[in-house]
Amino acid sequence: MSNSEDNKSSHDQLSSQVFLDLVDSVIADVASECHRIARLGLDKDLEVVEEELRLSVEARAKVADPSNNLETNTKYVVDIFGQSHPPVATEVFNCMNCGRQIVAGRFAPHLERCMGKGRKARAKATRSTTASQNRNSRRNTSDNQLSSAPPGFEENVKRA
């Protein structure tokens, strides 16, 4: 009967419309999420790309600048290829311990905190657990040799 056929085709149309509506909603969600991540700078990869672009633009400007006396420039040594080397290494890479992106020139201080080697970093770690837990862990763990030595030992080593 033609009536039910009409019904069916309008149903189909309606279903398609509803379906597209649903898909559009999900698309809007995804776009909104990505927009937020992009604007807040939460995407690590994007930051690396931007940082590299910025550094390369800076380096190029420095080389192209004629007023920059390349030969007697004491701060930035320029090699025969015309590349300038800033005194603090500006390359960015991933710390193998925590996975964060670190500027090479600041890697040593970062590692101190990251691995708990520095005086302040270690004190912070021990303060947050109870004293008895600490004593137990010192007896049991064999890999972290620093923590198994008595506190006075480290001070002596530092003074030496």
Partner 1 sequence: MVLVESGEKENLMELVRDRLVESGWKDEMRIACREHVKKKGRKDVTVDELIRVITPKGRASVPDAVKEELLNRIQKFIQSAAL
Name the residues that contact partner 1, by CB under 8 A.
7, 11-12, 14-16, 18-20, 22-35, 38-39, 41, 43, 45-46, 49-50
Q: Which amino acid is at 90?
A: T
Q: Minimum CB separation from partner 1 for residue 36, in Å?
A: 9
Q: Minimum CB separation from partner 1 for residue 149, in Å?
A: 48
Choice between 50 and 65, CB closer to partner 1: 50
| CB-neighbour burial class of residue 86 (10 A; exposed 0-12, middle 13-18, buried 19+) | middle
CA–CA separation, 111 and 102 (whole Å): 10
Unique residue bearing structure tokens 């398609």: 16
Q: Minimum CB separation from partner 1 for residue 56, in Å?
A: 15
CA–CA separation, 79 and 63 (whole Å): 11
Q: Is the Cα torsion angle 43, 46, 52, 55 positive or negative in sign? A: negative
Q: Minimum CB separation from partner 1 for residue 42, in Å?
A: 10
Choice between 10 and 97, CB closer to partner 1: 10
Choice between 57 and 146, CB closer to partner 1: 57
Provide CB contacts within 8 A for 38, sequence distance 6+: 46
Choice between 4 and 132, CB closer to partner 1: 4
